[in-house]
């Protein structure tokens, strides 16, 4: 299933029932050092939930979504009921972008994002109950860069953090998760030592204004095997946006993940690249500083950099039978060929006749009633 997730952990499970699918958190894939509270896990599941909505819309279905429906079952993050009427055409239009969207960890070109596109993205995020806040003023960009450098330094000084990064970037060849060497910029030991020394010695007040807006990219190259050209900063001209929500509970994080994917797919569809730069929202101290200075009291959930880039290598995906329970056969009417839609979710070929629903056939498959 193609959906963005923190460190490509893909921390979700899908359970198909007679008339619905359940989207569950897989806590065995939670990053306990970077994300001890599960905020980024919930965002990852929210992104997968949004893609489920897109897949249903592309298959001719509307989706009735119940988020966090059972207080006694906190890992059940969403229940989705297909409704055979009124699919959202705006969601269906995003389906082709799902397999094209990849997290790009390289530096982007400095091409500015047009103001009308930023306004459009702001409206798209608002449809998912989340605020998108462009970081435009130079002093705000410098503050965001400074807090990101501070958080990046604190994280890299933590042995548990480095071990967690190593765990998710040194997966065996052919693994369906984690961040592969083919998708990260190369960092050798000398470059890493230089970066750490610079982090200790830099005085922001004496740095060039353009450098001050340069956010450090996360160092995923734990073995020196990174296949992409070395890039350690975002570049000072990157378009930067914050995603924030008025609440900071699991529901808000889930919705922030839906907003994140809606924004990412919209950018992909228009030929733009985007990548999260989340160090400053992962460290409580810097996250609170972001909140007090940049978001008007809303809770920062994610930071995105946006630009132009040539297509990069895709990241791996887990096998569907490792993620989906009860059925790996896509729902569809008996007369229609079954196939996986472009989103990677099982969807029907043509739209189903009105009033018919996918149900379990009792043998681990799906039929129609």
- Is position 106 within any domain? no
Beta bridge partners of 304: 241, 276
Mean pLDDT, residues 265-271: 95
The whole-number pLDDT of residue 70 equals 97
Pairing mode of beta strands 21-25, 366-368: unpaired
Structural domain count of the chain: 2
Residues 16, 96, single domain; the answer is yes
CA distance 19 to 82: 7
The whole-number pLDDT of residue 306 equals 93
Write out the residue range of the structural domain in which residue 348 sits: 6-101+318-368
The whole-number pLDDT of residue 233 equals 46
pLDDT band for position 231 (cuts 50, 70, 90)? low
The whole-number pLDDT of residue 110 equals 74
Residues 251, 299, single domain; the answer is yes
Distances (CA, A) of 277 to 85, 146, 170, 281, 324: 39, 13, 21, 9, 30
User: Residue 231's Cα: distance from chain center in Å?
Assistant: 21
Residues 154, 209, single domain; the answer is yes
- Is position 93 within any domain? yes
Of 162-171, 220-229, 276-285, where does the model show the most confidence?
276-285
CA distance 330 to 78: 19
Of 16-20, 101-105, 182-186, 277-281, where does the model show the most confidence?
277-281
- Is position 86 within any domain? yes
Residues 261, 156, single domain; the answer is yes
Give me the chain's average pLDDT, please. Answer: 81
Which residues contact residue 200 at a Cβ distance below 8 angstroms, ignoring those fewer than 6 apart? 153
Mean pLDDT, residues 246-258: 98
Give the residue from 275, 307, 339 where a domain finishes. Answer: 307
Mean pLDDT, residues 339-361: 43
Window from 86-95, 102-111, 198-207 with minimum mean pLDDT = 198-207
Nearest alpha-carbon partner for 82 in 95, 66, 64, 105: 64
CATH code, domain with 298: 3.40.109.10
Residues 181, 220, single domain; the answer is yes
pLDDT digits (tens, 9 = 90+) for 10-58: 999 999 998 999 999 999 999 999 999 999 999 999 999 999 999 999 9
- Is position 225 within any domain? yes
Strand ranges (DSSP E) for 205-318? 239-245, 273-276, 299-307
Residues 205, 286, single domain; the answer is yes
H or E, element range at 366: strand 366-368
Residues 342, 297, single domain; the answer is no
Residues 275, 342, single domain; the answer is no
- Is position 313 within any domain? no
38-49 burial: b if 16+ Cβ within 10 Å, else e: bbbbbbbbbbbb
The whole-number pLDDT of residue 184 equals 56
Res 308 pLDDT > 70: yes
CA distance 156 to 8: 19
Residues 299, 362, single domain; the answer is no
Residues 241, 361, single domain; the answer is no
Residues 293, 345, single domain; the answer is no
pLDDT band for position 298 (cuts 50, 70, 90)? very high
Residues 137, 262, single domain; the answer is yes
- Is position 14 within any domain? yes
pLDDT band for position 268 (cuts 50, 70, 90)? very high
The whole-number pLDDT of residue 1 equals 72
The whole-number pLDDT of residue 329 equals 55
């Amino acid at each position: 299933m193609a959906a963005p997730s923190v460190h490509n952990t893909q921390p979700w499970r899908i359970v198909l029932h007679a008339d619905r699918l359940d989207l569950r958190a897989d806590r065995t894939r939670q990053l306990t050092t970077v994300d001890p509270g599960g905020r980024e896990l919930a965002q990852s599941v929210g992104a997968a939930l949004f893609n489920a909505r897109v897949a249903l819309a592309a298959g001719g279905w509307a989706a009735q979504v119940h988020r966090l429906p059972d207080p006694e079952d906190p890992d059940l993050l969403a229940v989705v009921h297909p409704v055979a009427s009124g699919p959202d055409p705006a969601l269906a239009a995003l389906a082709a972008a799902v397999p094209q969207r990849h997290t790009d960890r390289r530096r982007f070109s400095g091409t500015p994002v047009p103001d009308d596109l930023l306004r459009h993205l702001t409206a798209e995020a608002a449809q998912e109950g989340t605020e998108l806040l462009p970081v435009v003023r130079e002093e705000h960009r410098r503050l965001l860069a400074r807090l990101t450098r501070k958080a990046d330094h604190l994280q890299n000084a933590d042995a548990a953090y480095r071990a967690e990064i190593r765990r998710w970037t040194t997966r065996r060849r052919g693994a369906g998760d984690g961040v592969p060497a083919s998708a990260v910029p190369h960092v050798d030991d000398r470059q890493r030592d230089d970066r750490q020394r610079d982090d200790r010695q830099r005085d922001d007040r004496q740095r060039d204004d353009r450098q001050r807006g340069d956010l450090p990219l996360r160092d995923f190259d734990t073995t020196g095997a990174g296949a992409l050209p070395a890039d350690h900063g975002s570049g000072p001209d990157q378009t930067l946006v914050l995603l924030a929500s008025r609440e900071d509970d699991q529901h808000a994080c889930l919705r922030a993940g839906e907003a994140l994917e809606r924004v990412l797919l919209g950018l992909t569809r228009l030929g733009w690249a985007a990548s999260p730069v989340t160090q400053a929202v992962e460290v409580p101290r810097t996250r609170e500083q972001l909140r007090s200075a940049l978001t008007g009291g809303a809770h920062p959930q994610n930071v995105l950099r946006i630009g132009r880039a040539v297509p990069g290598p895709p990241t791996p995906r887990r096998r569907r039978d490792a993620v989906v329970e009860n059925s790996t056969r896509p729902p569809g009417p008996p007369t229609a060929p079954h196939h996986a839609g472009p989103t990677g979710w099982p969807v029907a070929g043509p739209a189903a006749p009105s009033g018919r629903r996918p149900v379990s056939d009792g043998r681990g498959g799906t039929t129609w009633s």
